[in-house]
Each structure stands twice: as C-alpha cells, then as structure tokens.
Structure 1
C-alpha cells in the first residue's frame, strides 16, 4: 500500500447558518476543535443542525458566519470545488453514479485532479482491497449489481480515492440492514486503525456513536453542544438530563460497545473444509472432544456448523447437512455485537473472521458473559466510590459548619 496522508485538525469558530425567511439560525455560533486523526461523531435529534454543520466543513452548504480551518488553513475563503476535492464525503445509500462501473466511480476525483491513468488504476485496486472487495470480481460491476453493503463500501472507497486528510460521513450506514450495518461499522474501525484520517460522522443512533467515536458531540437545537467528550465519559457522567436521555437505560450494557472482540479471548475451534473427505471430517469431529465442527468454504470462510447427527445423516454428501453460519463478527466488532450474534444464533458461540471473511477463531457466550459481569462490577464499585466521596464531602461540610468561623466549635 502506498504511503497514506494522515488526518488534519479541524477548527470551527463561531460557525453559523441562517436561511432567508427563518427568524432563528439553523446553526448558531458553533465552536469546536477536532484533533488530527480523530473520529468525531455528531449525534442529536432530527433537525438539530448536525448534517448542516457537517456540510459546512466542505462548504456544500455555505456558512453565513464564522470560520472553518483545516490544518490551520482558513477554508472559508478558498474555492469550494477545490476544497471538496481535498475532503472525502460519504453519504447514505452511497450516492454512486449508476451509469459508471465501480472502478469509474472510485476514480472520479483522482481523474478530475489529473492523476496519471496508471496511478488511478493502482489506487482503485488498492482501495477495493482495503474495503474488503476483490478487485477482479468487483471493479467492472455497476452499482445495480451490488448489495447495499457492497455499494456503501464502494462509496467509502470513492471518498478515500484522492487520499484526503479529512473524511465527512453523513449517516452513511443508515439505509442498510442491521447485520450489514454492524459489519460496515467494524470495517470503518479497521480502516481508521490503518489510515488515521480525521473523520466527522453524523448519526442519530447513539449506540453507533458509542461504538465508533473517539469523541462524541451531543448536539441540541441549532447545533448547540450539550456535551463533547469520550464515549466512556458521556456514559458514566452525562452533562445534563438532555444527554442522559440519549444515554438511556442500561449504561453498563452500552459500555459493551466500548470493548472489542480483540480485547477478549478468541479460542480455536475444530474446522474442516469442503474438500475434506466425509470420513476424515467424521474422524476429526470424533477426536475433537466437541459435539460440533465448523465447515469452511473454499476461501476458508465459515460456512456450516456440523454436529455428529448431521454427519450420520449426510449419506456421502454435505449439501443438506448442518446449519448455515448466519452471522460472524470481526476482531473490531464490539462485545455487544458478539453477544447479539451469540444470542441470535442460540448456540453459545460465534465465529470470528478476518477482513476477507476468513475464519480466525470463535468467541463463546461464557467469555462474553464474564466481560458483562466485569463491566457491571466496575460500575458498581465506581458508584460505591462516588457515594463514599459524597458522604465524606458532606461530613466535612457538617464539621466546618459546626466549628464555625476561625475553627471555634459552636456551642
């Protein structure tokens, strides 16, 4: 992979937007500093101005007042078209051009800014591989030939094509099904580990914000900042009732979104492939000490869970034997994702896969439940400590009141 451009700082200074005929501003005097390489989430109720604020960063919407600086450069005075070519932008439903192939969609901005053909071709291959799509299989397809999740991956690849330091994402995963959405979120986390871009991401889903964000800006009406902090700080110390409303019940369980599968024990599991003879599969299962075995396809992706009874009924063929693997998680998935997958599958385990879907191991329900108990115990101890501190403070105040001025104890 070629040397990538890392993130840039973003500063919003007194940023405002007023629309003609509206007495109140849509965005009112927003001040914010986003660090280079940080993934910041804007979350808030519908109509609060979060998307408007995002679009002012690349001037898809022109600010009425205030300044925007990217790496110290004031972008409110430069050509907006040139600015947009330096800032990646990904939206809901990908926004791909239907008459262009996947490769042509990704190549759009590099072509506009005059990259040589060989460099563009190499960049398209690199990006398809980066977002987990086989270049040979996908580069010549049209958007209509892709699933929703695949389209969204291409949309992210297109936004990254000219290697911008900043990536803006406006509810990019809002139009896909929940399982695909989880996998796209994991993919974004993995990409950010590799690329270190500055990403500003708009969502109305607080769980998504917790999962993805280095910091979260909880926005009120007109993009007033209610709280701008780390996910853990917002979960444990919401600034006010408005922020508490976003956190909702079950803060300890929400903290499962802060812990990744890579942080817990991933165990190996007996596996076989479609190319293995049936007798060898049977022998492997019998010698494994488990009641089931994981069948991998020709690309070593989880395909079916096979139990002893399945093999007895197979009669020389695995076509109808076993249970299809409906869900997997990556190492970047959260423990909440893994727990949901385990409970949905109802079998006490979920397969962990790599960037191309290849098998890497298994996480079981016991490991996940131990993590849940640890989080809940940590929350209990934290609450107990806070209560003790409050009692000590009250005791000190009572003592001070009893002593009175000059340290003289009152009669």
Structure 2
C-alpha cells in the first residue's frame, strides 16, 4: 500500500482533557504573581473561553498551557500526561496555536504556512500536500485559488482562516486561540466565529479561547471562565448559567444590561424556521425571471450568482426598469448569515435591511434560505417569556424558603418558651 493511502486514511484526532493544577507565574522583580495558583479541569472536546479585564492574566494562563510562557509553579496535564517538564518545542507541535492577525509568515505561501508544522514533525510531501488541500477546504477556501498566494494577497478574514488551518494542520488534540478575531471588522468577525463553531462540530477539538468580549464568549463557549486579577476564577460555568445566575457583582458587571437579549447569542439560525425564497440566476433569461416572479406570487426574487451565492434582491419594479439587462437592476445583498450564526447576528442583519430579511448561506456562501423579522421577533418574545417565568419561579422559591425559615424560627421560639416554663 502506498504511503499516501496509508497516511490519509487515518481518522481525525479528537480533543484531549486539560488539567491545570496550582498553575502560577511570577515575574522577576514583581511582588505579586501575574497568575496565582489556577486550578481548572477542561473536558476533552470542550470549547472553553477565558474572559476578563485587561491585565488579569488570561493570555498568560493560555500561553502557559503550551509553555510559550514557562510556569513558575504548578502542573499541566494534557490527556492525562504531565507536560510540565516535556521538551517545550515537542509540546508546541502537539498543540495548535492561533493568534490575532493570524501570525502567518509573509515570505511563505499559504500552502507553506499550513504545511509548516507537519513538515517539522516529519510528514511526507504527499501527506502534507493532501493535508494542505484538506485544511483549506475545511476553512472554506478553494485550494486551487489560495494554495500559492502570499499572506499580503489575502483579506484579513482570509488570513485568519489560514491561521486556523495552520494551527490544525498537524491534527493536534488541543487548539489555543488568543483573541484570534480581534483585529478584523465586525461582519468578518461574526463570520469567523460561525466558521469556528462549524469546525468544532466537525472536529471536536479541545479549544481554549481568550477574549475580552463577553458577547463573543457567550456565542462560542461551552463553558466560560470569568477571570479576576491574577486569573482567579470568579465563575466557571455554562453561558446560560452565567447569564441567569451570575456568581457575584464582578460577574454581573461582565454580563451587563440586557441579559435576556444576550441569550440570543445562545440560539442559532439552524434552530429557527428558515423559509425558502424564489430565486433566479444571473444567466437566466429576463422573460423567464418575469414568469417566475409572476408564478411565485411575491413581490421579490433573490438573484444568485454563478456559484449560487446571494447577489441581488430583485423587486417587480426593478424588473420593469431592467430594459433587457439586470446589470443595474435590484439591490446588492450586503449581508448574509450562516446556519451557525446566532439569532443576535441575524437580528442585527435584519434590522439594517429595509425589507426586514436576511439570506442564509452554506459553507461556501451558497444560498440556503431566508430568515425574516417575524421569525426573529417570535424567538425574542419566547426568550423573554422564559425569563419572566423563571424569575416568577425563583421568587416563589425565595418566598417558600423564607416561610420555612419563619416557621422553623417560630417552632424554635415555642420550644424554648416551653422549656423555660418547665
């Protein structure tokens, strides 16, 4: 059997558990530790978020996991193996690492950047070539188009996708991400977040992700570690638990106002009803487009490009003014959402759209459906009603607890009075 067949047939590696035991970092000359005795257990396949104020030690804690920063004290276990004293270079080849602004080497092509770690660990050329194509496809970039490009020839979002592909290329069980989407514009950031969610559904890696953005933490995390100064853990729980029951005022400050609306970050577009919309393609004859609009019984069509990506919204009046060409007809589609986008992403897109709808796209940007304002508002009302019922139930529990305490106090007083009389 050939080398290529043997190597490419291997299944993807899934995540590994991470244990931090009394992990500490002290810098020379500093009276206080930067990170003070952090204890944490992360399950295999979890996406964990570190969030906290600037300077709290979250990035330092992250970098100690792959020993880019050497711990002063404590232990690190990955998959049950103590890696605290392992050769740090070997350790880093087993742990993927993605940073802000991608960190790509400018003198290397996209393919060379992605294949760097596999080359270092001794993979064959055929396996590296196959893996590069697989990784580009995985992050939604056409291998034929992007293989030979240099980082300067890519947009910020494309660079970040390549950065993630490089971090995953050697199939590590653990991926560390240090504010990887912090340097891109908000729309690109939303799409990169969606892409990470999709990738995690496919790969089940263990991901530790640092951010200062609590909304990003809610959207991405299976669990969130809210960190105080010195990386002391204020609360380590699910996004739902932190939103509905913050541990203290410090955590409440991160949650901020509008917790119910923040819960829109917990529901995905794939969880709500997406409607199909009449579509046409750019090379369809104009008369055929007219006929389709008439048959659809709507006042609008969605024009798709040759790759079936949303291109323009076409209304009946646009077609009347087309005069044989769609070149200047219709309104360009400025925003789309993916299946993994949150309802908050979708609501923001819909609110900026005059007609109150947004196209839903697949992995390669192809059209999948439309979600509209009515669907989203119904979801908002359901969340608010759920919060109201939960608050009422919590109030009833408090009242019952107080009543029990009062009853116990009265019984105690009565017993004490009887003893005194006796």
The CA distance in 1 between the partners of 2:305 and 2:341, in whole Å, is 22
Which residue does 2:362 correspond to in 1? 354
Which residue does 2:84 correspond to in 1? 76
Q: CA deviation at 1:406?
A: 7.3
The CA distance in 2 between the partners of 1:340 and 1:408, in whole Å, is 63
Which residue does 2:179 correspond to in 1? 171
Mapped pair 1:98 → 2:106: yes
The CA distance in 2 between the partners of 1:316 and 1:99, in whole Å, is 48
Mapped pair 1:22 → 2:30: yes
The CA distance in 1 between the partners of 2:164 and 2:114, in whole Å, is 9
Q: CA deviation at 1:399?
A: 1.7
The CA distance in 2 between the partners of 1:409 and 1:205, in whole Å, is 58
List per-residue Cα deviations over 1:207-265 (Å, max 9, x = no partner): 00000000000000000000000000000000000000000000000000000000000
SS in 2 for 1:41: strand
The CA distance in 2 between the partners of 1:407 and 1:273, in whole Å, is 85
SS in 2 for 1:345: coil
SS in 2 for 1:332: coil
Which residue does 2:307 correspond to in 1? 299
Matches within 5 A, 1:12-411: 12-404=20-412
Which runs of at least 4 in structure 1 moved beyond 6 Å after TM superposition?
408-411
The two structures have a TM-score, normalised by structure 1, of 0.98
The CA distance in 2 between the partners of 1:346 and 1:173, in whole Å, is 29
Q: CA deviation at 1:409?
A: 8.7
Contact 1:402 1:409 in 2 (8 A): no
Distance 1:407-1:363 versus aligned 2 partners, 3 A rule: farther
The CA distance in 2 between the partners of 1:97 and 1:211, in whole Å, is 30
The two structures have a TM-score, normalised by structure 2, of 0.96
The CA distance in 1 between the partners of 2:122 and 2:35, in whole Å, is 36
Gaps of 5+ in 2: 1-7
The CA distance in 2 between the partners of 1:78 and 1:404, in whole Å, is 61
The CA distance in 1 between the partners of 2:162 and 2:412, in whole Å, is 71
The CA distance in 2 between the partners of 1:409 and 1:93, in whole Å, is 74
Contact 1:403 1:409 in 2 (8 A): no
The CA distance in 2 between the partners of 1:337 and 1:346, in whole Å, is 16
List per-residue Cα deviations over 1:105-134 (Å, max 9, x = no partner): 000000011100000000000000000000
Q: CA deviation at 1:346?
A: 2.6
The CA distance in 2 between the partners of 1:46 and 1:232, in whole Å, is 24
The CA distance in 2 between the partners of 1:231 and 1:407, in whole Å, is 46
Question: Aligned Cα RMSD in Å?
Answer: 1.3
